[in-house]
Amino acid sequence: MLESILSFKEVEKSPYLTFIWALLITTIAVILSTQVSYKVQISNVTFNLAGIFAVIFTIVPSVYFFTTVIKKEEQIEETEILKRCNKGFLCRHGMDMLIFFFYFFGVTFAFAIWAFVLPADFFQVQLMKVHEIRAALSGQVTGEIVKGSFNSFLAVFYNNIQVMAFAFLFSLLFGAGAIFIIVWNASVLGSYIGELSKAIYEIPKVSFFFLPHGIPEVIGYLLAGLAGGLISAAVLRSRSGDVLKIIIIDSMKILALGAISILAAAFIEIYL
């Protein structure tokens, strides 16, 4: 039922509705995960897997919704190609990008709120990932990224381009497969924002700290997911070689734009 609340026509006219929908389904997912939270003990260390359940329950309705969006957009692009429309690929896919963008921030905001409200160990897996990434990027025990360091710039860019590549590959193989990576990264970022916030009203303020480099970074992931999904949908529809060729070229342009966005995000994070 949740995956059918929004229709393609509704989000196409008002893409911001995706933010509200993402906030709703993520909230329901977190509430459900509080009832099925599971803890495992490894080497006398207890790990709370509740955060993983929250991600899974968010993904389930999202995959159906975004599979529908990608298929619809591929059909629209195919129709425009057959009509010899002269629209640029950004005009054809700008709305898709907005839909994905609002979705990501809806999921992130929901996780931030619940990370502040729930016990500190509820999103233990996500917070462990945050500290792991920061330590890996810096190569230091303190886990601090060194501003102005070229090595840190390369480390950030390499880490983010890997995530982008997986987003593209997952979408190529599973259609809306990038949703797995998008939701996971949204949960990690949201949990970190929630941890940093001293009061619930500070969440938007803390979020703004991540916007300068976070927006181009997220755009890179979303563009990679969109590019892979379009190719996947076009191949499955088994259309003519000429149409498929144009869709693949469009997808490669979107992917290249995503890589540039990832590069810009790493530069902003380290040097600005």
Q: What DSSP string runs through 60-97?
A: HHHHHHHHHHHHHHHHHHHHHHHTT----HHHHHHHHH
φ, ψ of residue 235 to 5 degrees: the values are -65, -45
The tokens 């609002």 sit on which residue?
Answer: 102
Residue range 174-226, pLDDT digits in tens:
766 778 888 988 898 898 888 888 888 888 888 777 777 788 888 898 888 88
**Cα distance between residue 77 and residue 42, in whole Å:** 50
Residue range 89-123, pLDDT digits in tens:
566 667 777 888 899 999 999 999 999 999 878 88
Residue range 26-80, pLDDT digits in tens:
999 999 998 876 777 666 666 788 888 999 999 988 888 887 777 776 666 666 6
Helix (H) or strand (E) holding 218: helix 203-237
Q: Which pLDDT band holds residue 261 (cuts at 50, 70, 90)?
A: very high
Residue range 63-73, pLDDT digits in tens:
888 877 777 76
Number of H helices, E strands in the chain: 9, 2
SS3 at position 234: helix
Using an 8 Å Cβ cutoff, are 229 and 248 in contact? no
Give the mean pLDDT of 147-167: 84
User: With 70 as the cut, is the pLDDT of residue 14 above it?
Assistant: yes
